[in-house]
Amino acid sequence: MKKIITEADVVANYKSAGKILSVGKDDIITPLAKDKIKDLGITVIKKTESENIQLSSLPTVLPPAKKNTVVLGGDHTGFAIKTLLAKLLVEKGYNVQDVGTYDESSCDYPDFAYAAAKKIKSGEAEFGILIDATGIPSAITANKIKGIRAATCYNEFSAKSAREHNNANVLVIGAKSLGEETIKSIVETWLSTDFAGGRHQRRLDKITEIENRNL
C-alpha cells in the first residue's frame, strides 16, 4: 500500500529516529518533504517488497523494541562512520536511535557517550555503538554509568571476546584508527556474537560487586 511521505512526516521521523528515514518501495515523497530531507541531511532507506511483506505480517503484540534497537552516538570525528553504520544497521533490520552529533562541527564526545549510555541503562536500546577518533574517551565516559560495559574494539577478535566473555553492551570504535571495511566487520562480529555465560558470568558478578560498592 502506497504512503505519501509529507514534510511533517520527515520532521517527526527526524525527532524520533534521527537522520535515517525508512520508506516503502512504492511510497511517494512530496517535493516539500524532499527539500526537508536535503536540509536535514537525512539518509533515505527504501525497503524491498519482501521486507514490506515481512513487516506487515508481524504479530500484533511485538516484543520490546529494545531487543532490536541499537543507539548510535559520536563526536564530529565519528560523524561519517556513524552515518555509514546507521545505514548498515537499518539494512540488517535493526531499529536505530541516533543521539548525535548530526554534522562535522567540533563538539564534545562526553555529551553523546552519556546520552547513548543512558538509553542502554533505561532499556530503550539493547546495544550502543559509539564512535570518536580513537575509541578510548567515549568508552571512558560511558563506563561511568552504572550497568554499562563499554568496550573499545579494534578487530574481530576483540569484538567477539567483548561480547562472548564480557557481555559488553556498548561497542566503541576509533574512526581515525581503523578503515571502513574493518569497522563494518567489527560491528557485524559484535552483533552476531552472544554472551557465553558460565565462568564468564562469575567474573562479571565480581565486576558488578565492585561497581555497586563504588558507584
d(CA 207, CA 148): 11
pLDDT of the residue at 54: 36
Domains of the chain plus CATH, in order, are: 4-56 (no CATH), 65-199 (3.40.1400.10)
DSSP string for 89-141: HHHTT-EEEE-S--SSS---HHHHHHHHHHHHHHTS-SEEEEEESSSSHHHHH
Q: How many CB atoms lie within 10 A of CB 187?
A: 23
Q: Is the pLDDT of residue 55 over 50?
A: no
Q: Is the pLDDT of residue 15 over 80?
A: no
Active-site annotation holds for 165: yes
Query: What would the pLDDT profile of 82-125 be if each residue is shown by its tens digit?
Result: 999 999 999 999 999 999 999 999 999 999 999 999 999 999 99
User: Sorting pLDDT into bands at 50, 70 and 90, what band is 28?
Assistant: confident
pLDDT of the residue at 47: 57
- Average pLDDT of span 188-212: 91
Helix (H) or strand (E) holding 28: strand 28-29
What are the CB-based long-range contacts (under 8 Å, 24+) for 153-159? 153/186, 153/190, 154/178, 154/186, 155/182, 155/186, 156/185, 156/186, 156/189, 158/186, 159/186, 159/187, 159/189, 159/190, 159/193
Q: Nearest-CA neighbor of 150 among 178, 128, 126, 124?
A: 128
Least confident of 125-129, 184-188, 210-214: 210-214
pLDDT of the residue at 99: 96
pLDDT of the residue at 206: 92
Q: How many CB atoms lie within 10 A of CB 30?
A: 15
Q: Residues 165, 177, 188, 204: which is the catalytic one?
A: 165
pLDDT of the residue at 16: 62
Q: What is the pTM of this model?
A: 0.70
